[in-house]
Structure 1
Amino acid sequence: MEHEAGAEVVDAEVVEEGRLPAAIQPRPAARPVVDRHTILYPGQGLPTEADQPTYTERDLYVSEQTAERLENQSAPKNTSANYQSQRNKFAAWCAGEGRVARPCTTATYVEYVAHLIELGRSPNAINAAMSAIRTWMPEDQKPGTKQARGMLNEYRKTWAKRTAVRKAPPITDELLRAMVATCDLRTIAGRRDRCMLLLGRGALNRRIELADLSIADVAVDDDFVTLHIRSSKTDQEAKGEHTDIPAEDDPLLDPVAAVRDWLTALHHLGVREGAFFRALTSRGTLQNRAVAKERGDYVTGDAINDWVRGRAHKAGAKNWQQITAHGLRRGGAQAIAEAGGDPTKQGRWKPGSAVVKREYLDRAQSRAENPWLKVQAKRSGKPA
């Protein structure tokens, strides 16, 4: 082929008729990106892969602080630690069974639930394990729950038949007085335990609410003690609530005097801030908490239980082994209901709580209307 003088000559490639070089092959059409949830407006084109953004590592990583918040979201530290423990147990079981732990299949999830049932674990414990495992899985690879829930529901029925319901006995006014009387106010531990008993009873505290109290959460004047409960079972978002406990004429049972005595004891120990209830040695000094990495200076709910049970034992309660800090809550709620009051707000139950209605209000009314009371009134000549 001849070219005009001065014209630029470029490389050329001879190709077969009907074929283009690879470098200029037409690009394949971008694949549509749709699923059964896609909604398109009239005239709108199908979204394709070409419309999708290109992500880099920057879009996928979170900071260490954010990762820590995600690990502990909406769960107290003890719950987070329990979840990790449950996940570790599941991973160990999967390794022993030759199964993939994460992400696991629905069959593996169901088989593990059956394994826990065979071990005789409580339904609540199995439910907690199921939740820990499922929330551990990637968001789009969680196992199905229908079969596992069905097995657990059937297991609950047999569990209920062979397991008697054990509720912490209520700490009555009489028992409370006997327990407080064992607190030697000449000792640091005596002042602490009296304060713990009277606040637990007066504010209808759950044990962890007592354990989580800070000095800044407790205010006292001549007429009331006010507790700021930063979070509770019914306040997982930690909005916080205030609960007032009125002063008592009886010095032994007066929460105002008890709080002031304990604050004075804390000051003598050099404590001005931080945890309100502290672990003590047998000599009445502060216990070394260097190894308490989870709670630091804050005691556990189990410690509160131990203090309550110890005082019940010293008071000579026949069923002292069964008594826990929850007995303060139950006993206080029962006393309020029997006096015609509603313990809902004082105990930070949800408004209209079915538990309060069933366990306290209805029971108090039933007792007040007990037909044997009319028989006793007739015998004594008093009006029914």
Structure 2
Amino acid sequence: MTTMMSAALPATAPVHPVDPIGIMPRGLTDTDGERIATAIAAARTESTRRVYAGVWSRWERWCAGRGVTVLPSDPLAVCAYLTEQAAAGRAMGTLDLICTVIRHVHLTCDLHNPADALAVRQVRRGLRRTYGSAPRRLARPLSVEEIRQIIHGIDRSTPIGVRDAAIILLGYASALRRSELVALTLADVEDKPAGFLLHIRRSKTDPEGHGEVVGVAHGQHAATDPVAALNAWREIRGAAPGPVFTRIWGSTVSLQALSGHVPARMLRARAEAAGLDGTRITAHSMRAGHATTAALAGVPLDRIAAQTRHKDLSVLLNRYIRPLEALATTSSKDLGL
């Protein structure tokens, strides 16, 4: 496998004997190839490459278990895999991702994309009609009252308590994605009299890293003030450059960054400790809760979108605004039941 092919494919993907990416024109050097490979790798984030590798690895194992060729893949094998995954409860978004990864590997290897076959397209259409395409388990938005309940149950006399309270309050007030929250560095936090400006260097909606700025204002109550909570954590963390939120080993505060999974696990555990049902509580519950609570308070859609940085306003409408309007305007309350 050439350096450039390795950069383009998931780590487990085999290489087709025809490797057009690996054929270097006369006059180009290995250094040129390494630079091209670096640029190819940067076309997708590290997290995306990990996801692609996982999807491809599972497809490889399925093909090996069935005794079918993985590359090039047979369209009917893809159909069988998709229907099996759908029957196992996989969402349509997962099935679409499987097709995306299979397409990516085949096109990179200069092979025909089996997901383009008529049979695969018909199967995908039929699965949508059979199982639906709506997300099945949306994160439950947390209300301000629930955030207060969670925060009240945290012992903020300990470093980990101070850190967790800061993560929850800043995450809720800023509406940041969990990846953005754990990627914050001290240099990204700009102090202002009215609160903070958070400089988001790269995000899902800004993959090229142009940069975005999110404001966080002082809270109305001392216990739930996100600015005070972050200031308290920064005092414990210290001023050494690096990530804002770091791991704590026993009572020792390190400078090691948190992974994106830590806020989700922590929030669910804190919510359950506070007596809430943690079944559908994820890190996204803070972001969703911000949007929902703001909508309930009558904040205009454009202001909410400016904070959450949603490029597609239909997401805000369909997931946060319209469900609230449906309950507020339902005629069922006028039936006299």
TM-score, normalised to structure 1's length? 0.70
Kept in 2: contact 1:220–1:256 (CA 8 A): no
Partner of 1:360: 320
1:70 to 1, 15, 40: 40
- Give 1 or 2: higher helix fraction: 2
Q: Which residue of 2 aligns with 1:315?
A: 274
Give distance in 2, aligned partners of 1:117 and 1:349: 29
Tell me the equivalent position of 1:90. 59
Task: Tell me by how many angstroms 1:107 deviates.
Answer: 4.6
Matched, 1:113 2:82: yes
1:216-295 alignment runs, 5 A limit: 216-267=187-238, 272-281=240-249, 283-286=250-253
Partner of 1:378: none
Point out where structure 1 has 5 or more consecutive residues left out of the alignment.
1-53, 290-296, 376-384
Is 1:133–2:91 an aligned residue pair? no
Change (3 A) 1:141 1:82: same
Change in Cα spacing, 1:362 to 1:143, as seen in structure 2 (3 Å) is closer
> Unpaired segments of 5 or more residues in structure 2?
1-22
Q: Over aligned residues, Cα RMSD in angstroms? A: 3.2
Say yes or no: does 1:303 pair with 2:262. yes
Q: TM-score of the superposition, structure 2-length normalised?
A: 0.78
Q: How many residues align?
A: 306
Please give the secondary structure, in 2, of the residue aligned with 1:63. helix
Contact 2:243/2:257 (8 A) holds in 1: yes
Pairwise CA distance, 1:211: 2.0
The alpha-carbon deviation at position 197 of structure 1 amounts to: 1.0
Question: Are the aligned partners of 2:237 and 2:253 in contact in 1 as well (CA < 8 Å)?
Answer: no
Choose from 148, 162, 179 the match for 2:120: 148
Aligned residue number for residue 344 of structure 1: 305
Cα 1:92–1:68 shift into 2, 3 Å: farther
Q: Deviations over 1:3-61 (max 9, x none)?
A: xxxxxxxxxxxxxxxxxxxxxxxxxxxxxxxxxxxxxxxxxxxxxxxxxxx98455697
1:200-219 to structure 2, matched below 5 A, reads 200-219=171-190
Deviations 1:128-179 (A, max 9, x none): 1221121112454232424323212322333349x99332222111111111
8 Å Cα contact 2:194/2:218 also seen in 1: yes
Indicate the structure (1 or 2) with the bigger Cα radius of gyration. Answer: 1
Q: Which amino acid aligns with 1:304?
A: P
Amino acid at match of 2:281: I
